[in-house]
A and B are shown apart, each in its own frame.
Chain A
């Protein structure tokens, strides 16, 4: 049988999205656009909330702390995109939290305000260049490193650089390993968690100094001490995890504005320390 009518481009009964995007759709959009390759394993996940909730606004933050969740809820930003977990372990492991008062309080803030928390950690780092590194370079006005991930800066004594970073980020608990007079010209970044081997490799590269977030004292911190004690001209500055991730997540908020028309805001997370 011949039928000369062309098939319609789209069956009239096909579902078409008309309402506001759900959290799941926004997350899908983020993962599609972020520019990270496929990962066989990741800690990125929806850690709380119903992903089918329509998104009213997006809050981007280094860590989904209670204060951040309250602030986002108050501002009507119900999708919280966070670098670090909201439930006190890398994988938001809730074993042992049964009946925990603080867990219940945080859960209720999330429920009452229909929040959805999405951990965007690995995929933001997998971006090329790494989202945290790029954000930090922008914040410090450093030209992105060309080779080997090393930033060339104007020659600055370590103490002067540490003071300037502490001032720039309002970091009250910055910690430094190395000779305060060491002239620093080449800096490598190990933002967030500065794990043992990648950090040791950076220290053995051309960098005079590694700018890190958090680092275990019995791993790369001991390694830098040993380099210094054996005559190498090396140093490390620990900003703290939150301070080190903040510029990169601020950059993430700016990037998200180019991806969606949903309102996006960066929400500061206070590291909370005094000394």
Chain B
């Protein structure tokens, strides 16, 4: 739909690392990855901190940025999509190399690691893992902003706790249908009575363990998350339901529970990186179920 515009800008960018700054008519030099990261540091509303998992996973801080892709997870498919859109700086919320901190020591002889790294190198990509600082964005977690925007839940955000949404009265079944339709979720899973009356929903997008999940369940009728371990928070929710507590847990899958948080990230970046195209590239959810098999695994945008 908007592909032509972006491709044209990408093509200009690729042709020479010089950009027309919108509105000025003057050529602005391409920012480097370092420039973009420095601007980001000043825009999260919170102090930038060391430690955690946010870092340049591959590529270089000195690389000139032709265009920026924001993605939920830097899957191979997401990287191919970024290359197809001529976006050489990939900002990903989840890992590139299959573990939270992108540990690669144990992968040095791994054929897929080598293939993915070679692909990144051949296409001059730089990948930045933006997890902790995006969740730490003030006044509201960036993932939460994007997800509530996707769900149309901004009017319902609780004044005291921005993870809580006071929805118009509904049922668990209707809430789940809403998630299924809005997010295109074919593999969500639910624990709880389908007829449960729902008013308050607490969202912990992404992974959620017993802590903080157990206290969250005290605060609302439904806790919605991306994923949890079956013997941990999910077992707790099962026991709650067995004890006839009017509570439910909705598991959207990790990717679908967070990825529109990276759409918001693209919008945020556009406000302070005007020189280059910035685009959110949604990825496919990893799974299908036997009732709804999916034969096409590539992201099509």
The answer to whether A207 has its CB under 8 Å from any CB of chain B is no
- Given known A-B contacts A102-B240, A218-B73, A229-B80, A275 and B189 have beta carbons under 8 A apart: yes
The answer to whether B236 has its CB under 8 Å from any CB of chain A is yes
Interface size on A, residues (CB 8 A): 63
Distance in angstroms from B240 CB to nearest chain A CB is 6
The answer to whether B182 has its CB under 8 Å from any CB of chain A is no
The answer to whether A40 has its CB under 8 Å from any CB of chain B is no
CA distance A271 to B73 in the complex (A): 28
Collect the chain B residues with CB atoms within 8 Å of residue A225's CB: 75-77, 286, 297
- Given known A-B contacts A218-B100, A225-B76, A173 and B242 have beta carbons under 8 A apart: no
Q: Among residues 188 to 211 in chain B, which have CB atoms less than 8 Å away from a CB atom of chain A?
A: 188-191, 194, 207, 209-211
Total residue contacts A-B, CB cutoff 8 A: 171
- Given known A-B contacts A176-B287, A180-B293, A273-B191, A217 and B76 have beta carbons under 8 A apart: no
CA distance A34 to B169 in the complex (A): 53
B243 and A226 contact, CB distance less than 8 A: no
Collect the chain A residues with CB atoms within 8 Å of residue B188's CB: 275
Collect the chain B residues with CB atoms within 8 Å of residue A166's CB: 290
Distance in angstroms from A47 CB to nearest chain B CB is 12
The answer to whether B67 has its CB under 8 Å from any CB of chain A is no
The answer to whether A257 has its CB under 8 Å from any CB of chain B is no
Interface size on B, residues (CB 8 A): 60
21 A-B residue pairs with CB within 8 Å: A67-B238, A89-B231, A163-B290, A173-B189, A173-B289, A176-B287, A176-B293, A196-B99, A220-B98, A225-B75, A225-B77, A226-B98, A227-B112, A230-B76, A270-B238, A272-B237, A272-B241, A273-B189, A274-B191, A275-B188, A275-B189
Residue numbers of B with Cβ under 8 A of A are 73, 75-77, 80, 94-95, 98-100, 106, 110-112, 115-116, 119, 187-191, 194, 207, 209-211, 214-215, 226-227, 229-243, 245, 253-255, 286-290, 293-295, 297-298
